[in-house]
A and B are shown apart, each in its own frame.
Chain A
Amino acid sequence: MTAVETTGPAMEPVGQRTHRVLTKVPTGILWLIVVLWTIPSFGLLVTSLRPEADQISGGWWTIVSNPTLTWQNYHDALFSPPGGTLPFSQAFVNSMAIAIPGTLVPIAIAAAAAYAFAWMDFRGRHWLFIGVLAMMAVPLQMSLVPLQQLYSGGAHVSIGSSTFILIPDLNLNNKPIAVWLAHTAFGLPLAIYLLHNYIAGLPRDVFEAARIDGANHFGIFWRIVLPLAKPAIAAFAIFQFLWVWNDYLVALIFLGQNRDASPLTIQLVNLVTSRGQGTELLPAAAFISMVVPLVIFFSLQRYFVRGLLAGSVKG
């Protein structure tokens, strides 16, 4: 200790050096996590590009001694998978057809609802909002059976001898719209909550200025709120899209019997269970399903960083 303190001005004090080293610890840990979490994905990528024989003969790291790479697995998975599995090119389109409406519909409804909860005065607003938030506590699994009954049989109330139809029998099961509606319903409470918090925090002056400029509620929503809420919308869109894209349960329940409309997640499972055939395609298939989340995240992540509100009011 004393020796260090007296070695002259060129040496920094022990306290400062400890501080400097310690401040690097969190960064170091983060890097460690990044590496640890990336290794399996990297391994998957390598394996997906290896011929079947090489995949079986050893772990992905044997690529170093046997560097043969091929696109064959991707080709087979996308266009000619074994057995009764839907080609992944088709499943990919199905996943898109589920995830895009499953993201856009709740955002459209939630943004409008969030604006109304935040900036419109109507009776019962407070309790309605609490009711919406309370729905976040309902586990998804609990609503699967009632929802399926609703889809296939509608809802009826019998009083005495007369029956009232609350919801008609629409026979939605095993149609993509069944999954869209389910994802919309499950996503809405969180979406309304997140967007409400953001939209309620927009400066009141801006809304008042727009009212004086002649905008009605729809105009304010369309021209002011939506552009300003972009960061929050983007954040929610990422969550919702990833959740819907990766969803297996909801798709299996409402779309499981419809092979031609089923998404990647269901087809991935089918690939494994088809009598041992096609396991070599699994890494490639898994990677195909990972591409979209990666693209989504990297294309929208700037919205997390950029504060769109700069310059609206002072400070």
Chain B
Amino acid sequence: MAAVTLDKVNKVYDNGFHAVHDLDLDIRDGEFLVLVGPSGCGKSTALRMVAGLESISSGELRIGERVVNDVHPKDRDIAFVFQNYALYPHMTVRDNIGFALKLRKASKREITERVEEAARLLELTELLDIKPGQLSGGQRQRVAMGRAIVRRPQVFLMDEPLSNLDAKLRVQMRAEISHLQHDLGVTTLYVTHDQIEAMTMGHRVAVMSKGFLQQVDTPQNLYDHPNNLYVATFIGSPQMNLAMGQLDLDGTAHLAIGKHRLAIPDDLLSTRPGLRAYAGRDVVVGLRPESLEDASVKPDPTGGDRTLEAMVELREGLGSEVVAHAKLDARGPHVETAQGVPEGSLLGDAGIELVARLDPRTTVAVGKVAKFTVDIDTLHFFDPETTLAIRD
């Protein structure tokens, strides 16, 4: 087992495209780190550089204590799981799994033992003597995993290994891979575009966008304390609602969103002292859907200065909760987020869409104005120019 360290790693292709910018990542020994971002953000390139399938333009890559920038992939002591499985179609499952050992000139007995051990772990024993063409997607994925674990590598590298599976199988394989990684304790770098995979599987999650690393943290911290608007809108589903607000700290501190005024309690200002610098200025306010609640279910404890009124346009009952989409009379930020330029900005002054996750007892109805209680303490604030979070 070993730690993996990327130190100011860059990738510039021959055609001048700068795919990865100054990437610093520290994957601890035995850690499951997920690299997540939309397609084209450089996450796969970063992974392939760790594997040695792409050259590193500048910076340093260490596996354990060893600098491996110019080490051949086979000598890096890594295993790679491909999105398309990349099984050898002309070999049986047994030969597929044992191929690396065979190339290393391991003895026949050792190969058999280790292949069968891996097969037991992955429940592939019955399938050892058939070819990949006869396997289902999930079984092929298992063979690909078997090929990785049989080598007992220091690092697992996985490139969207679940994206070709159907939804149900994906959930199952997600758990299996997590289990396997936990049992084997192998340092793992896992690339995905699916933020749910990232949140559920990773010990820590690294969010990338356009070749830049945005933030690395535990899933909960990413959710609770996003560093910038990009991370805030990328992590979480439904997505965080964004609205422009004006902070007024004269007299009773309040936040104006459109025609609404939300009272700002003193403890919010003391936990986020950075907000004081924005007195009288525009800020981007982020509201998680669960920070909003139907005021008829959960009345505003302060008696009215922590509510927003919005016209409900869609009500989706999910049984355990109701997701309401409502039109809030406010401006949206003109900044790019994980989902592109937000809808609100396109609507101009027509308002922004507010998504709320409500208690199923809610009485909100489509076409009616509903009153939402806002959990002020869970609000997020961002600088509209730099898009960075305002905290301290």
Nearest CB of B to A108, in Å: 19
Q: A212-B74, A212-B80, A213-B147 are in contact. Are A312 and B86 (CB under 8 A)?
A: yes
CB-CB under 8 A from A224, the residues of chain B are 88
Main secondary structure of the interface of A (DSSP, over half): helix
A214 lies within 8 A of B100 (CB): yes
**B109 within 8 Å of A by Cβ?**
no
CB-CB under 8 A from A131, the residues of chain B are none
Contact partner, B51, options A212, A223, A308, A314, Cβ 8 Å = A212
Number of interface residues of A (CB under 8 A): 23
CB-CB under 8 A from B132, the residues of chain A are 311-312
CB-CB under 8 A from A223, the residues of chain B are 99
**A210 within 8 Å of B by Cβ?**
yes
A205 lies within 8 A of B86 (CB): yes
Of residues 104 through 146 on chain B, the ones whose CB sits less than 8 Å from some CB of chain A are 104, 131-135, 137, 140
**B230 within 8 Å of A by Cβ?**
no
**A211 within 8 Å of B by Cβ?**
yes
CB-CB under 8 A from A22, the residues of chain B are none
A308 lies within 8 A of B104 (CB): no
In the bound complex, CA of A228 to CA of B86 (Å): 13
Contact partner, A213, options B74, B83, B84, B90, Cβ 8 Å = B74
Q: A212-B74, A212-B78, A213-B99 are in contact. Are A206 and B51 (CB under 8 A)?
A: no
CB-CB under 8 A from B135, the residues of chain A are 311
Contact partner, B87, options A211, A227, A311, Cβ 8 Å = A311
A209 lies within 8 A of B86 (CB): yes
Of residues 66 through 111 on chain B, the ones whose CB sits less than 8 Å from some CB of chain A are 72-74, 78-80, 82-90, 99-100, 103-104
How many residue pairs link A and B with beta carbons under 8 A? The number is 82
**B164 within 8 Å of A by Cβ?**
yes
Nearest CB of A to B81, in Å: 9
In the bound complex, CA of A212 to CA of B74 (Å): 5
In the bound complex, CA of A219 to CA of B51 (Å): 19
**B12 within 8 Å of A by Cβ?**
no
In the bound complex, CA of A257 to CA of B27 (Å): 75
**B297 within 8 Å of A by Cβ?**
no
Contact partner, B90, options A210, A227, A313, A314, Cβ 8 Å = A227
A314 lies within 8 A of B85 (CB): yes
CB-CB under 8 A from A208, the residues of chain B are 51, 53, 73, 80, 82, 86
In the bound complex, CA of A209 to CA of B80 (Å): 7
In the bound complex, CA of A215 to CA of B74 (Å): 8
In the bound complex, CA of A205 to CA of B87 (Å): 9
Contact partner, B103, options A206, A215, A228, A313, Cβ 8 Å = A215
Nearest CB of B to A205, in Å: 3
Of residues 213 through 242 on chain A, the ones whose CB sits less than 8 Å from some CB of chain B are 213-215, 219, 223-224, 227-228
CB-CB under 8 A from A211, the residues of chain B are 53, 72-74
Nearest CB of B to A269, in Å: 44
**A203 within 8 Å of B by Cβ?**
yes
Nearest B-chain residue to A310, judged by Cβ: B133
Contact partner, A228, options B51, B90, B133, B134, Cβ 8 Å = B90
CB-CB under 8 A from B103, the residues of chain A are 213-215, 219
Of residues 299 through 315 on chain A, the ones whose CB sits less than 8 Å from some CB of chain B are 308-314
Nearest CB of B to A198, in Å: 14
In the bound complex, CA of A307 to CA of B302 (Å): 72
In the bound complex, CA of A308 to CA of B88 (Å): 11
Nearest CB of B to A212, in Å: 5
In the bound complex, CA of A214 to CA of B104 (Å): 7
In the bound complex, CA of A212 to CA of B144 (Å): 13
Nearest CB of A to B137, in Å: 7
B137 lies within 8 A of A314 (CB): yes
CB-CB under 8 A from B100, the residues of chain A are 212-214
Most A CB within 10 A of own CB, among B78, B133, B134: B133
Nearest CB of B to A156, in Å: 44
Nearest CB of B to A217, in Å: 12
B89 lies within 8 A of A309 (CB): yes
Nearest CB of A to B70, in Å: 15
Nearest CB of A to B103, in Å: 4
**Can you report 14 residue pairs joining A to B where beta carbons are below 8 Å apart?**
A203-B86, A205-B82, A206-B88, A208-B53, A209-B82, A209-B147, A213-B74, A213-B151, A214-B103, A214-B104, A219-B103, A228-B89, A308-B89, A314-B84
11 extra interface residue pairs, beta carbon distance < 8 Å, beyond A310-B89, A312-B89: A209-B87, A211-B73, A212-B51, A213-B99, A213-B100, A214-B100, A228-B89, A311-B87, A311-B133, A312-B132, A314-B164
A-B pairs with the 8 shortest C-beta distances? Answer: A311-B133, A205-B86, A312-B89, A214-B74, A213-B100, A313-B84, A311-B132, A209-B86
